[in-house]
Amino acid sequence: MEKDIDKIEKNPETDIVIRIDDFGGRPGLTIREFVKSERYTGFTKAGTRIPADKFETFKAAINSIQADDFKVEEENLEENQQQTLNPKENSEKKEM
């Protein structure tokens, strides 16, 4: 049993494939990278597998994520930019 659920383009050569399968006789959700290149076309080792009996836990975790969770707070962004621009000055401040 294999049922492709979706495919998300990671870059022009790599897709993230989400599918339901029964690898080794055990049903589950597989999220794996699929590469298309001159040297190799196929699934890579990069990815994960969620066993069917753990799917509801995984789904609840994914559904708990809100779009706002991906937004970087303006404060943190400014602090990171300052550290990048003045790394020596910032490290001296930390030592005080």
What domains can you pick out in the chain, each with its CATH number? 2-91 (2.30.31.10)
Contact (CB, 8 A) for 14 and 34: yes
Q: Are 30 and 22 in contact (CB under 8 A)?
A: no
pLDDT by position in tens, the chain (length 96): 899 999 999 999 999 999 999 988 999 999 999 999 999 999 998 899 999 999 999 999 999 998 888 776 665 666 767 776 766 655 555 555
Residues 79 and 71: their CA atoms lie apart, in Å, by 15
Angstrom CA distances, 91 to 2, 42, 75, 78, 94, stand at 53, 45, 19, 16, 5
pTM of the model: 0.66
